[in-house]
Structure 1
Amino acid sequence: MSPIMRFILRRVGFLFLTFIVFMLIIFALPRAIPGNPLSTLLSQLFQQAQANPELIKAVYKRLMDEFGVGKPVHIQFIDFISRTLRGDLGTSIAFYPRKVGEIVAAYLPWSLGLLIPATLTSWIIGNSLGALAGYKRKSAVDNLMLPVFLTLSQTPYYWLAMILLYVFAVNLGVFPIGGAYSSGRIPSLTFEFIADVLSHYILPFLSIVLSAMGGWAIGMRVMVIYELGADYINYADSLGLPDRKLLRYVFKNSMLPQITGLALSFGTILGGSLITELVFNYPGTGYLLFRAISTLDYPLIQGVFILLISTLLLANLIVDFVYAYIDPRIRTGYLGE
């Protein structure tokens, strides 16, 4: 077997075992919350019991069997694993009788449309400004940028979201207060609807970009300063290599940790920015997860977390391959070249 195949099988096997461990955690945590997940549904049934008690008893038994609440915990876990591996995330309790996959699919595009552009924008701007500050270290540019980066990186994104909402939506009335689009509008590809969506989009987008940009910039600034003092740069400089070529080497090596951070950010993106989506009442997966926890909707909680963990593990696998492609030292160590 070739070295690259051994590497791939080893990584995939490790990630599969990690996935099973996470499945156990995902299964156990919702059940640690006190309360009966079927209480809301059952209370609605009991209110109608006088009308047709036999029918209510039959529906009650069917619900208990469908969600497996009355079964032993180990049986529930085995059913949970087998259904998940078949791609069946179950039926939501709060949105009964809708399937979890159907509900997540309805909320997922809003999170992806918000978080992917915001993450990429903050990553590109933050790394570019951080590289400039690192190259111009101890200059007026660095002295001006660094306090801004530190302030943004230490500002909680939900606090920044509330400030933006209060100033630009409540006080100035420039943007809508919340939601993904105005109530009463029917989603369509018309210019009016797209403009309405964009007006609701700007504040959540800015709150995520500004709060994340500072962390990316600080990380890149530190890496650039470290690489500028490395032996290979000093040696290359003594050979007379032009500054432009030296900076290309510095930037390439400085980007490795940032690429890891970006991949891991994409891995957690499907969980949504929970507080940001709550502040702006934005219908993403983070907002959906909050509703699921509030109603003790076990299948929906599990479905969102399974999606989150799966993308996180996939992101880790992609990072391994990207690292091996970018850095020859890692490729040599992993693949035995």
Structure 2
Amino acid sequence: MKGYKKYYFNKVIWYVLTLIVAVGLNFLLPRLMPGNPVSAIAVRASNGMTDQTAIQKVYEEYVKTFGINKPLYVQFLQFVKNLFRGDLGVSFTYYPRTVSDILAKSVWWTVCLQLPAILVGWFLGNILGAVAAYIKGVWDKAILPTFLFLSNMPAFGMAILLLFFFGVYLKWFPTSLGYGYDLNPNVSLQFIGSVIYHYQLPFWSIVLITIGGQAIGMRSMSIYELNADYVKYSRFLGIKDRKVVKYVFRNAMLPQITGLALSLGTMVGGALVAEIIFSYPGLGTTLLAAITGRDYPLISGCTLIITIMVLIANLAVEILYGFIDPRVKAAQEE
């Protein structure tokens, strides 16, 4: 048990340090963007005014409200202080709505879309890779290369391809939004059915770009394990192939756990692009609106939430890896 404690303690420390660095970057990088977002808000608020003094007062009031007239280090200390209270500030773009309120609604759309899609893609990819290594034939020469080709497409390319064929050309699925534009969110069969209907294209666009990479990794590890000495010796002893293969694929799965952690990192990059292409009401669409409007608090909130999600997912995989692979404990006890 001592080995596990050392392993998990080291992992947690590194993830906490990573989070601290991420908080600093989440605050600093949006504020390096050119332009003044408060000017746009002041212009909207003073629309119709002709008195320049009144317009200037409106601008100064918004500058004071958002606190951007203070030195950067003072803003950062206030930002960190507010974080401990769960306060991410007020959005510039959606003023007077708070960032926490906006993210509370969009984060669940992202989690419910991307996490199942990545897990399904990882699961299907591993099955395909194992079958291609063991059975070979058409699985190895046709089906696997097809999925490998699809996985090498950029996320936005796959999203646009599915949108065109299944949304525009065949008209099987809607091309945008997370539910019908004429519906309000509620717990009803009509609304749930609409959500599932709109869910299909974004979901499968993420699944298809995940399968190939996982499949090729599983295939390579399975071939390596199938040619290992313990497999040859077990077959020589007459042990049933079904029992041997069970251990082969179990050993081959260990590196794939790391692959799952890396796949979860796509929530920061490509998978969010799918949300933007389909105007899905998740973090991707919210982040795009924030960047377009130079909304510092909302950009910081989105990137911070995404970072925390990825760190938690990776830490969970690291903990799972420690239990699955006994060599981790052995290495820590040496």
Runs of 5+ unmatched residues, structure 1: none
Deviates more, 1:62-71 or 1:287-296: 62-71
- Aligned residue for 2:88, secondary structure, equals coil
- Cα shift readout 1:247-273 (whole Å, capped 9, x = no counterpart): 111111211222222234345547782
Residue in 1 that maps onto 2:310: 312
**For residues 175-214 of structure 1, what are the structure 2 equivalents within 5 Å?**
175-214=173-212
Q: Write the letter of the residue equivalent to 1:260.
A: T
| Alpha carbons 1:27, 1:302 under 8 Å: kept | yes
- Aligned residue for 2:46, secondary structure, equals helix
Residue in 1 that maps onto 2:257: 259
| Alpha carbons 2:234, 2:244 under 8 Å: kept | yes
The CA deviation at 1:302 is 0.6
Residue in 2 that maps onto 1:89: 88
Residue in 1 that maps onto 2:273: 275
Q: Write the letter of the residue equivalent to 2:113.
A: L
| Alpha carbons 1:271, 1:305 under 8 Å: kept | no
| Alpha carbons 2:147, 2:208 under 8 Å: kept | no
- Cα shift readout 1:27-48 (whole Å, capped 9, x = no counterpart): 2211221111212211123335
Label 1:266 to 1:164 Cα distance change in 2 as closer, same or farther (>3 A).
same
The CA deviation at 1:298 is 0.7
Deviates more, 1:265-274 or 1:151-160: 265-274
**For residues 213-292 of structure 1, what are the structure 2 equivalents within 5 Å?**
213-266=211-264, 269=267, 273-292=271-290
| Alpha carbons 1:272, 1:286 under 8 Å: kept | no
Runs of 5+ unmatched residues, structure 2: none
Label 1:121 to 1:166 Cα distance change in 2 as closer, same or farther (>3 A).
same
The CA deviation at 1:287 is 0.8
Q: Write the letter of the residue equivalent to 1:92.
A: S
The whole-number CA distance in structure 2 between the counterparts of 1:71 and 1:164 is 48
| Alpha carbons 2:3, 2:329 under 8 Å: kept | no
Label 1:156 to 1:52 Cα distance change in 2 as closer, same or farther (>3 A).
closer
Label 1:133 to 1:231 Cα distance change in 2 as closer, same or farther (>3 A).
same
- Pairing 1:63–2:56 present: no
Label 1:311 to 1:177 Cα distance change in 2 as closer, same or farther (>3 A).
closer
The CA deviation at 1:21 is 1.3
Residue in 1 that maps onto 2:115: 116
The share of aligned pairs that are identical, in percent, is: 44
Deviates more, 1:268-277 or 1:156-165: 268-277
The whole-number CA distance in structure 1 between the counterparts of 2:4 and 2:132 is 39
Q: Write the letter of the residue equivalent to 2:67.
A: G
The whole-number CA distance in structure 1 between the counterparts of 2:171 and 2:279 is 17
The whole-number CA distance in structure 2 between the counterparts of 1:160 and 1:267 is 18
- Pairing 1:75–2:74 present: yes
Residue in 2 that maps onto 1:15: 15
- Aligned residue for 1:273, secondary structure, equals helix
TM-score (norm 1): 0.90
| Alpha carbons 1:158, 1:279 under 8 Å: kept | yes
The CA deviation at 1:196 is 2.1
Label 1:246 to 1:73 Cα distance change in 2 as closer, same or farther (>3 A).
same
Please point out which of 321, 324, 327 is paired with 2:325.
327
Label 1:272 to 1:215 Cα distance change in 2 as closer, same or farther (>3 A).
closer
TM-score (norm 2): 0.91
The CA deviation at 1:198 is 2.1
The CA deviation at 1:50 is 4.5
- Cα shift readout 1:81-127 (whole Å, capped 9, x = no counterpart): 22223322111111111111110111122222221222222122111
The CA deviation at 1:229 is 1.9
| Alpha carbons 1:270, 1:285 under 8 Å: kept | no
The whole-number CA distance in structure 1 between the counterparts of 2:103 and 2:269 is 11
The whole-number CA distance in structure 2 between the counterparts of 1:108 and 1:290 is 14
| Alpha carbons 1:134, 1:225 under 8 Å: kept | yes
The whole-number CA distance in structure 2 between the counterparts of 1:272 and 1:181 is 22
Deviates more, 1:65-74 or 1:297-306: 65-74
| Alpha carbons 2:268, 2:306 under 8 Å: kept | yes
| Alpha carbons 1:324, 1:330 under 8 Å: kept | yes
Query: How many residues are matched?
Result: 334
Q: Which runs of 4+ in 1 moved over 6 A?
A: none
Label 1:250 to 1:275 Cα distance change in 2 as closer, same or farther (>3 A).
same
The CA deviation at 1:168 is 2.0
Residue in 2 that maps onto 1:125: 124
